[in-house]
Structure 1
Amino acid sequence: MDIRIGIKDSAREIAFDSAQTAKEVEDAVLAAFGAAHLALDDAKGRRYIVPSASIAYVEIGSESTRKIGFVA
């Protein structure tokens, strides 16, 4: 699943693929607003930690895989 995190006062965003479900990511984001930071893991095992006060938005992509080929 694709995840994008917008950072306040920054033109760039953090974008990565995660093996977590949409519900797990949503729960982590909502819990981060009451805590000091948001911590998420990507599909390669890296951990991203973002101060919750700096989060502008979080975009959670779909869990479905992309189809390759032609559609009839």
Structure 2
Amino acid sequence: MEVKIGVQHAPREIVLESGLSAEELESIVADALSGKTQLLSLTDVKGRKVLVPADRLSYVDLGEPSIRKVGFGATL
């Protein structure tokens, strides 16, 4: 699942691909926003760990990755 994280005072968003389900990701984000944890901690499919202070979160966008088509039949 694709995750986009907006951070306050940062010009770009953080984009990562997670192996977790939408429900698991939503629970992790909710814990960070409610104050149960100080950091939003996520690990992508390549093993890279992303830590964002919970008080600096602007938004978290959870969505499916777009499927890339290859070949001559790829035109829409």
TM-score by length of 1: 0.84
* Residue-pair matches, total: 70
Tell me the distance in 2 between the aligned counterparts of 1:62 and 1:52: 23
Calculate the aligned-residue CA RMSD, in Å: 1.8
Structure whose CA Rg is larger: 2
Superposed, 1:23-42 pairs within 5 Å as 23-33=23-33, 34=35, 35-42=37-44
Indicate the structure with greater helix content: 2
Structure 2, unpaired ranges of 5+: none
Cα distance in 1 for residues equivalent to 2:69 and 2:45: 21
The percent identity for this pair of structures is 34
- After the TM superposition, which parts of structure 1 deviate over 6 Å for at least 4 consecutive aligned residues? none
Provide structure 1 residue ranges, at least 5 long, that are not aligned to the other structure. Answer: none
AA of the residue aligned to 1:38: L
Secondary structure, aligned partner of 1:29: helix
